[in-house]
Amino acid sequence: MQYNMTREEKFMQEAIQLSQNAIDNNNGGPFGSVIVKNNIVIGRGYNKVTSTNDPTAHAEMVAIRDACKNINSFQLEDCEIYTSCEPCPMCLGAIYWARAKHIYIGNTRQDAADAGFDDAMMYGEICAPIEKRKIPMETVGRQAANKVFINWNDKEKKARY
Amino acid sequence: MQYNMTREEKFMQEAIQLSQNAIDNNNGGPFGSVIVKNNIVIGRGYNKVTSTNDPTAHAEMVAIRDACKNINSFQLEDCEIYTSCEPCPMCLGAIYWARAKHIYIGNTRQDAADAGFDDAMMYGEICAPIEKRKIPMETVGRQAANKVFINWNDKEKKARY
């Protein structure tokens, strides 16, 4: 009963349609997303990991990049993001960097796990102490790396983000 | 004393050089990364958030996309990632999705925070329970979204990732 839909349900419906398109067209997994500013869709994305050999091409990432390109900004202040599934940590990180204001999700991370996607495991890994993670991480050349941070802080003209 | 460098220090040196280039050329923040497979650099990246209006264009993301493109795969199995700074949650998520085997970091997340970058805050947000995060998240249209997951699972020919 579409005439009774809220605005949020309408925008989510578009994200869900993109998720269906992604699998119909063999672009990638069943995920779609739209970015909304002042009630207008300014960016769209669907998963295209497998079709473009890009593990970062999740629906939300593609939508964020599309929206930023369309508004010529690396920030999405006052924007809502609608995504057919709860963002994985990568996508949630991107949403924070873009400084969106509100996230609407369709499926939850548990729904994603039930459908065979690793998002729930990934939250566990990323929030675990470094020494307990599956991918080992170690420090090399910290002093040399830190010198560039000092150079950055000494630089007068720079675009902060 | 370059002649005494370990292989890891040499690869890290290249990542650090990319981080310096990023600020010298006004591409973005002081971050660089290389991806190594069988002792060969197969991907390179530096931060270009502000110069390309892309909040996802962190050094590691750019390096992962470059490496995947170069080897025609959405996986980086048996690859090492060298990054001039500990990955933020977005980049760490991408490293997990790409299934890299080892992460070498220069600066730590605390070094990043000291240089004015929000990575430490972001780990706090992403690992916090949903209701305690700064960006609100709510569920809309879960049933319709979930139908597409069912369609995905019913689909016979599909590329999993």
User: H/E/C letters for each residue in chain A?
Assistant: CHHHCCHHHHHHHHHHHHHHHHHHCCCCCCCEEEEEECCEEEEEEECCHHHHCCCCCCHHHHHHHHHHHHHCCCCCCCEEEEEEECCCHHHHHHHHHHCCCEEEEEECHHHHHHCCCCHHHHHHHHHCCHHHCCCCEEECCHHHHHHHHHHHHHCCCCCCC
Which residues from chain A sit within 8 angstroms of residue B9, using beta carbons?
Answer: 140-141
Nearest to A92 by CA among B61, B48, B118, B123: B123
Any B CB within 8 A of A114 CB: yes
Of B15, B55, B96, which is closest to A68 when you measure between CB atoms? B55
Site of tokens 């929030």: A127
Q: How confident is the model at residue A2 (pLDDT cuts 50, 70, 90)?
A: low
Catalytic residues of B: 60
pLDDT for the residue B74: 97
**Percent of chain A whose predicted confidence (pLDDT) is above 70:** 98
Strands A40-46, B32-37: pairing kind = unpaired
Q: Six-digit token pair at A109?
A: 């991370």
Q: Is the pLDDT of residue A85 over 70?
A: yes
Strands A79-85, A32-37: pairing kind = antiparallel
Query: What's the CA gap between B73 and B58, in Å, rounded?
Result: 20
pLDDT for the residue A3: 67
- Residues with Cβ within 8 Å of residue A1, at least 6 apart in sequence: none
Any B CB within 8 A of A126 CB: yes
Q: How confident is the model at residue B130 (pLDDT cuts 50, 70, 90)?
A: very high
Query: What's the CA gap between A51 and A143, in Å, rounded?
Result: 40
pLDDT for the residue B4: 85
Q: How far is B84 from chain A (nearest CA, A)?
A: 6
Query: What's the CA gap between A75 and A62, in Å, rounded?
Result: 14
Of B115, B137, B149, which is closest to A152 when you measure between CB atoms? B115
Q: How far is A38 from chain B (nearest CA, A)?
A: 18
Q: Is the pLDDT of residue B37 over 80?
A: yes
* Exposure letters A49-61 (e unless 16+ CB within 10 A, then b): bbebbbbbbbbbb
- For range A118-129, the mean pLDDT: 91
Q: How far is B59 from chain A (nearest CA, A)?
A: 13
Of B90, B101, B137, which is closest to A94 when you measure between CB atoms? B90
pLDDT for the residue A27: 95
Q: Is the pLDDT of residue A92 over 90?
A: yes
- For range A27-46, the mean pLDDT: 97
How do residues B65-89 score in pLDDT, each as one tens digit? 999 999 999 999 999 999 999 999 9
Query: What's the CA gap between B63 and B35, in Å, rounded?
Result: 7
Query: What's the CA gap between A24 and A18, in Å, rounded?
Result: 10
ipTM of the complex: 0.95
pLDDT for the residue A30: 97
- DSSP reduced 3-state for B49: helix
**Percent of chain B whose predicted confidence (pLDDT) is above 90:** 89
- For range A35-58, the mean pLDDT: 98
Q: Please, how many CA atoms are within 13 Å of residue A161, restricted to the half-sphere of its CB?
A: 29
Nearest to A81 by CA among A43, A123, A126, A122: A43
pLDDT for the residue B103: 98
> Measuring CA to CA, how many Å separate A143 from each of B37, B54, B85?
25, 29, 11
- For range A56-71, the mean pLDDT: 98
With beta carbons less than 8 A apart as the criterion, state whether A120 and A96 touch: no
Residue B83 per-residue DSSP state: E
Q: Six-digit token pair at A86?
A: 């709860």
With beta carbons less than 8 A apart as the criterion, state whether A93 and B120 touch: no
Q: Is the pLDDT of residue B1 over 80?
A: no
Phi, psi of A159 (to 5 degrees): -95, 110
Q: Is the pLDDT of residue B2 over 60?
A: no
